[in-house]
Amino acid sequence: MSITDRTSTAMDSAEEQIAKLRSQVEALMKDRVTPMVTNAAGRAEAALHSASDTVRGQADALSGQVRKQPLMALVVAAGVGFLIGRIVR
């Protein structure tokens, strides 16, 4: 067998192995990685909605308190503004 024939056989063998590895990687992606990523994305979306609902509820509660006690809200806002001003200075 000549060097050219052996090189050609080795190339064919390497190409077959690469094709086999490619199909194995594609199968892994389809069977394992894609469902895992989809599951993680679903959980992240659910957590985001939960956090959004919590923040919205807290904002509504704060807004209700400001409506009930507007003078207290002004005093608290002025106090917080004063403290921030002192810290930044």
- CA gap 40, 36 in Å, rounded: 6
- The 10s digit of each residue's pLDDT in 1-11 is 667 777 778 77
The per-residue pLDDT for range 36-53, each reduced to its tens digit, is: 889 999 999 999 999 999
Angle at 65 between CA 61 and CA 48, to 5 degrees: 20
pLDDT score of 53? 94
- What is the predicted pLDDT for the residue at 13? 84
Distance from C-alpha of 7 to C-alpha of 27, rounded to nearest angstrom = 30
pLDDT at 65 exceeding the cut of 80: yes
- For residue 69, the SS3 value is coil
